C-alpha cells in the first residue's frame, strides 16, 4: 500500500509522507533498507537489492538496469560509503560530508575554516613552486636567444626580465609568509605575470619565427591548476585570463586565423584536462579536511553525552593551567557525581540510565558556554566542569546552580535514599596556579570535596 502511493506521488521524493519516504529506494522506487530519518537528513535510500551490491557492480547495475545518470551513480556510491555518518550527526563536518560538496563549496562557516586550512596546507607548496617557477621562467630565456635574433630579442629579454623581477618580489613575500592573507593574491599575481608575459613573448616571437613554441602558455596554466595550491575557481579564472591574452596578442600580431584557432583548441583541451585534475584534487582536499576534522572532534568527544572526554579534558586542563598562571587568574574545577546511579540502572534499566546521563550532560554543557570553560564526562556517572578565571565564591554558586538544575530535571529515582528524583553531588576546588604547583592539585582538592559531599549525605555542594 505504502509502495503504491509512493509510486503515484513520484517524482518529488521530498514531498512524500514519511512512511513513503521510508519505503522507497531513491534509484528504483522499491522498498528500501534505510530509515526515513536518514533519508530526510541527506542520505540516499537504497532498496535491498542495491544495498547488497558494492563498487563497480553497483555502478554497472544502476547504469544498465535503471539508466541512471552520472549524478545518481555518484550519489549511490558516496552515500553508501558514508552511511556511517548518520551515527555521528548532528556535527557540522558530518553534516557537510553527508550533504556533499560537488560544487566545491561548503556552508558559510565551514567554507571559511576550509580556506584557512587550505592556505596553511599549501604554504610549503607555494614556496617550492615560486622558486621552481623562477628557474623554469629563466630557463626559457635560452629558447628566446636560440630562436629569435636582435633587435626583437631585446624586447623579449626586457619582458622576461621584467616578469622575473616581479616573481622575485612575490617570491620573497611568499617565502617570508608574514601576511598569510596575501598568499593567494601573490600566487595569482605570479601566475598572471608569467601567463601574460609568455603570451606577449610568443606573439612577438611569432612575428619573426613561426616555429617559436606557443605551448609555454599551457605550462603556465598547468602550474595554476596543480603547483600553487589555488582553488579550482581561482585557477580557472587566471587561466582564462591568460588564454584570452594569448588569443588577443596573437591576433594583434597577425597570426593566421587557422593557426590561431588550432593553437587555441589545443590550449583549451589542455586546460580542460588541468581543470578536471584540479577539481578532483580540491574535492579530495575538502574530503580530507572534513574527515580529519570530524575524527579530531570524535576523538575528543564522549559518544553518549557529546561532552568532552577525559583525554580532551587532560589536554585542556594542562593548557588552561599554564594560561591561568600567565594571566594570574584562578581556575575552578567542579567534580560532579550522579547519586545512587547503580540503583537507577538497576531500577529503570541501562537504556534509561543512558538517557539520564545525557540529560545530566546537557545541563552541564549549558553551564560551560564561555570559550575557555569546558564540560566533561570523565567516565561512568562522573562529570566535571572546568571554569576559567572564577573565584571560590562564584565557583561554589555555580556548583549549587548545577546541582539545582539537575534536580529540576525531575527525573524520578525510586531507588534513591537521598531524594525522589535524580540528584548529583558536587565537589568544588579553586586555585590560582603558581610556580612549582602541579595541576593535579586542583583535581585532588575537588576530589576530596566531592568525597565529603557524598559522605555528608549527597545532593550537595562542598568547596
Ligand X SMILES: Nc1nc2c(ncn2[C@@H]2O[C@H](COP(=O)(O)OP(=O)(O)OP(=O)(O)O)[C@@H](O)[C@H]2O)c(=O)[nH]1
Residues, the chain: 463
Q: Which residues, numbered 366-425, are part of the site for ligand X (CB under 6 A)? A: 380-381
The minimum distance between CB 120 and ligand X, in angstroms, equals 38
Rounded CA-CA distance 64/73 in Å is: 11
Among 374, 369, 425, smallest CA distance to 402 is for 425
Q: What does residue 425 show for φ and ψ, rounded to 5 degrees?
A: -105, 145
Least distance to ligand X from the beta carbon of 359, Å?
Answer: 12
Asked whether the beta carbons of 337 and 382 are under 8 A apart, the reply is yes
- The reply on whether position 345 binds ligand X by CB under 6 A is yes
Contact yes or no for 321/142 (Cβ under 8 A): no
Total interface residues for ligand X by CB under 6 A: 16
Active site residue: 258, 366, 381, 400, which one? 381
C-beta of 406: minimal distance to ligand X in Å? 13
Among 101, 225, 313, 341, binds ligand X (CB under 6 A): 341
Compute the least distance from the CB of residue 104 to ligand X, in Å.
40
Q: Is 336 left (phi over 0), alpha (psi -120 to 50) or beta?
A: beta
Q: Between 351 and 434, whose beta carbon lies closer to ligand X?
A: 351
Burial of 16 (0-12, 13-18, 19+ CB in 10 A): buried
Residue 339 near ligand X by CB under 6 A: yes
Bridge partners for 335 per DSSP: 384, 427
- 381 as an active site residue: the answer is yes
Q: Which is nearer to ligand X, 51 or 358 (CB)?
A: 358
Task: Indicate the residue among 91 and 345 with the shorter CB distance to ligand X.
Answer: 345
Judged by CB under 6 A, which of 289, 337, 364, 459 binds ligand X?
A: 337
Q: Measuring CA to CA, which residue among 133, 110, 115, 161 is closest to residue 228?
A: 133
Q: Scanning the structure block, which residue is given the C-alpha cell 594560561?
A: 323
Q: How far apart are CA 101 and CA 339, in angstroms?
A: 47
Q: What is the smallest separation between the CB atom of 297 and ligand X, expressed in angstroms?
A: 20
Report if residue 358 touches ligand X, rule: CB under 6 A.
no
Taking the least distance from each CB to ligand X, the nearer of 75 and 381 is: 381
Using the minimum distance from each CB to ligand X, give the nearer residue, 304 or 414. 304
> Any contact of residue 350 with ligand X (CB under 6 A)?
yes
DSSP code at position 336: E
Report the catalytic residues: 381
Residues that bind ligand X (CB under 6 A): 304, 337-343, 345, 350, 353-354, 357, 380-381, 454
Amino acid at each position: 500500500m505504502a509502495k503504491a502511493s509512493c509510486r503515484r506521488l513520484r517524482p518529488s521524493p521530498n514531498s512524500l509522507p514519511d512512511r513513503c519516504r521510508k519505503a522507497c529506494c531513491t534509484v528504483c522506487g522499491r522498498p528500501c533498507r534505510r530509515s526515513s530519518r536518514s533519508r530526510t537528513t541527506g542520505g540516499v535510500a537504497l532498496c535491498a537489492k542495491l544495498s547488497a551490491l558494492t563498487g563497480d557492480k553497483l555502478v554497472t547495475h544502476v547504469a544498465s538496469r535503471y539508466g541512471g545518470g552520472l549524478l545518481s551513480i555518484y550519489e549511490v556510491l558516496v552515500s553508501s560509503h558514508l552511511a556511517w555518518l548518520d551515527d555521528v550527526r548532528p556535527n557540522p563536518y558530518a553534516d557537510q560530508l553527508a550533504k556533499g560538496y560537488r560544487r566545491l563549496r561548503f556552508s558559510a562557516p565551514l567554507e571559511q575554516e576550509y580556506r584557512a586550512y587550505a592556505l596553511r596546507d599549501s604554504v610549503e607548496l607555494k614556496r617550492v613552486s615560486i622558486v621552481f617557477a623562477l628557474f623554469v621562467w629563466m630557463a626559457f630565456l635560452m629558447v628566446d636567444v636560440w630562436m629569435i635574433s636582435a633587435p626583437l630579442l631585446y624586447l623579449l629579454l626586457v619582458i622576461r626580465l621584467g616578469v622575473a623581477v616581479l616573481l622575485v618580489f612575490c617570491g620573497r613575500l611568499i617565502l617570508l609568509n608574514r601576511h598569510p592573507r596575501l598568499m593567494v593574491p601573490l600566487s595569482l599575481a605570479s601566475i598572471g605575470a608569467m601567463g601574460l608575459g609568455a603570451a606577449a613573448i610568443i606573439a612577438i616571437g611569432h612575428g619573426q619565427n613561426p616555429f617559436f613554441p606557443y605551448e609555454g602558455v599551457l605550462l603556465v596554466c598547468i602550474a595554476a591548476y596543480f603547483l600553487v595550491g589555488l582553488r579550482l575557481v581561482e585557477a580557472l579564472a587566471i587561466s582564462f585570463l591568460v588564454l584570452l591574452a594569448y588569443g588577443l596578442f596573437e591576433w594583434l600580431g597577425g597570426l593566421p586565423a587557422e593557426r590561431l584557432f588550432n593553437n587555441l583548441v589545443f590550449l583549451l583541451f589542455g586546460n580542460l584536462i588541468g581543470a578536471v585534475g584540479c577539481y578532483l584534487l580540491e574535492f579530495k582536499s575538502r574530503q580530507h579536511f572534513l574527515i580529519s576534522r570530524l575524527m579530531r572532534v570524535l576523538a575528543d568527544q564522549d559518544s553518549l553525552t557529546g561532552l568532552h572526554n577525559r583525554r580532551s579534558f587532560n589536554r585542556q586542563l594542562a593548557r588552561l593551567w599554564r594560561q591561568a598562571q600567565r594571566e594570574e587568574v584562578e581556575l575552578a574545577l567542579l567534580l560532579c557525581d550522579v547519586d545512587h546511579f547503580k540503583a537507577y540502572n538497576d531500577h529503570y534499566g541501562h537504556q534509561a540510565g543512558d538517557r539520564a546521563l545525557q540529560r545530566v550532560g546537557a545541563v552541564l554543557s549549558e553551564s560551560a558556554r564561555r570559550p575557555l570553560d569546558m564540560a566533561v564526562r570523565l567516565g561512568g556517572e562522573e562529570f566535571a566542569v572546568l571554569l576559567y578565571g572564577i573565584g571560590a565564591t562564584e565557583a561554589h554558586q555555580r556548583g549549587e546552580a548545577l546541582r539545582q538544575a539537575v534536580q529540576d530535571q525531575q527525573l524520578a529515582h525510586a531507588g534513591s535514599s537521598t531524594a525522589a528524583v535524580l540528584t548529583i553531588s558536587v565537589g568544588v576546588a579553586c586555585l590560582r596556579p603558581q610556580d612549582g604547583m602541579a595541576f593535579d592539585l586542583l583535581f585532588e582538592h575537588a576530589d576530596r570535596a566531592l568525597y565529603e559531599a557524598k559522605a555528608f549525605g549527597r545532593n550537595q555542594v562542598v568547596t
